[in-house]
Amino acid sequence: MQAKKMNDIFENDRKFKEAIGAFIIAFSELEFGLAILCTLTEFDPRNKDKFLSKYIGYSFEQKRNTLNDFIKKELPEVQKIWSEINTDIGQINRERRFIAHGFMTYSLPNENISTYVKEKGKIVEQKQSIEKIKNLTKSLYEINTGRNGVNGEFHTQFTKMRIDKWNDLVIEKNRIVYKVNNEIISQWKG
């Protein structure tokens, strides 16, 4: 009986750490997706690859603010969609703080683990469970690649609109053809 209980404890430990790992990886994919979008906020989208290291070095909030400012000024057509995505990102980022920074102690036999972060001058406690972390990871997958995902439909729409605006401003030799899955989706077809 004692050996079974110990096996259960170690199995739960493994599952808990796997859940945290999946969450952290999905969050990193989100942050990288934001950096990619930020490269398109530069004047000449043909040079976006040169700016990737700049935006990878930005804090998470700097990336969000860069996109907020650019969308508000240059792509107001996607403001409503971005606002919804950005709200979801803000909520998941709050949860990330608890998961990535809030472990004071980690005790194997407990079903829920307490995490703590400082918010508005006060220490806030939050209980973490395997199921909760898995659900947060599912939310991250939706933000990343679901409907209007940062690394999915929203990325495609944002990039298309940015390239179309660029193409309207420049002479033909500087225009960009934007393809997705070998299909040209930019207004200018080349």
Per-residue HEC secondary structure of 46-64 comes to HHHHHHHHHHHCCCHHHHH
179 located within any domain: no
Task: Express each pLDDT in 117-151 by its tens digit.
Answer: 999 999 999 999 999 999 999 999 999 999 899 99
Q: Write down the pLDDT at residue 3.
A: 65
Tokens of 121: 């001058």
How would you label 8-36 residue by residue, b for 16+ Cβ within 10 Å and e otherwise?
eeeebeeebeebbebbbebbebbbbbbbb
Output the pLDDT for position 12.
86
> Considering the domain boundaries, does residue 158 fall inside one?
no
Whole-angstrom Cα distance, residue 83 to residue 17?
A: 32
- State the residue range of the domain holding 138: 2-147
CB 141 within 8 A of CB 157: no
In a domain, 64, yes or no: yes
Averaged confidence pLDDT in the chain: 93
In a domain, 166, yes or no: no
Contact present, 139 and 92 (Cβ < 8 Å): yes
Residue 107 covered by a domain: yes
Angle between helices 130-145 and 79-101 (to 10 degrees): 150
Q: Give the integer Cα–Cα distance in Å for 104 and 88.
A: 26
pLDDT at 109 over 80: no
d(CA 182, CA 120): 49
Q: Give the count of domains, the chain.
A: 1
Dihedral sign computed on CA atoms, order 81, 161, 31, 64: negative
The answer to whether position 152 is within a domain reads: no
Residue 111's pLDDT is what? 74
pLDDT at 26 (0 to 100): 98
Give a yes or no: residue 99 inside a domain.
yes
Residue 160 resides in a domain: no
Confidence of residue 190 (pLDDT cuts 50, 70, 90): confident
- For residue 131, count other CB atoms closer than 10 A to its CB: 12
